[in-house]
């Protein structure tokens, strides 16, 4: 998450100044604002998701048994009750930061 945010922040700053068509230096202070906004938005949504509706792992046995009547195949997945309640704000925050 942090690597993606740092890369996005620097790219955003370069694209913001690309209309001048001159060589620029991008400093740490130039990208810290965008970086901080993205990290705070992501961390807030992910912490709320973890606290309010944590993912739970559920395993189910598939049909069929072996020669000694033992189940030999199972599948499992993580799920939560309302994933869209957290994925939509994450997507909107990414979109809104791109519009800054």
Q: Is the pLDDT of residue 1 over 70?
A: no
Q: Is the pLDDT of residue 47 over 70?
A: yes
Q: Is the pLDDT of residue 100 over 60?
A: no
Mean pLDDT of the chain: 79
32 three-state secondary structure: helix
Q: What is the pTM of this model?
A: 0.61
Using alpha carbons only, give the angle 90, 96, 99 rounded to the nearest 5 degrees.
150
Q: Tell me the DSSP string of 37-68.
A: HHHHHHHHHHHHHHHHS--EEEEEEPS-B-TT
List pLDDT tens digits, range 51-94.
999 999 988 888 877 778 777 788 899 989 998 899 898 888 77
């Amino acid at each position: 998450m942090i690597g993606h945010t740092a890369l996005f922040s620097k790219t955003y700053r370069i694209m913001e100044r690309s209309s001048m068509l001159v060589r620029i230096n991008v400093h740490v202070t130039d990208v810290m604002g965008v970086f901080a906004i993205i990290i705070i938005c992501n961390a807030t949504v992910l912490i709320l998701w973890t606290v309010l509706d944590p993912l739970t792992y559920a395993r189910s046995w598939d049909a069929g048994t072996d020669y000694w009547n033992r189940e030999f195949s199972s599948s499992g997945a993580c799920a939560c009750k309302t994933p869209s309640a957290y994925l939509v704000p994450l997507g909107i925050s990414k979109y809104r930061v791109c519009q800054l």
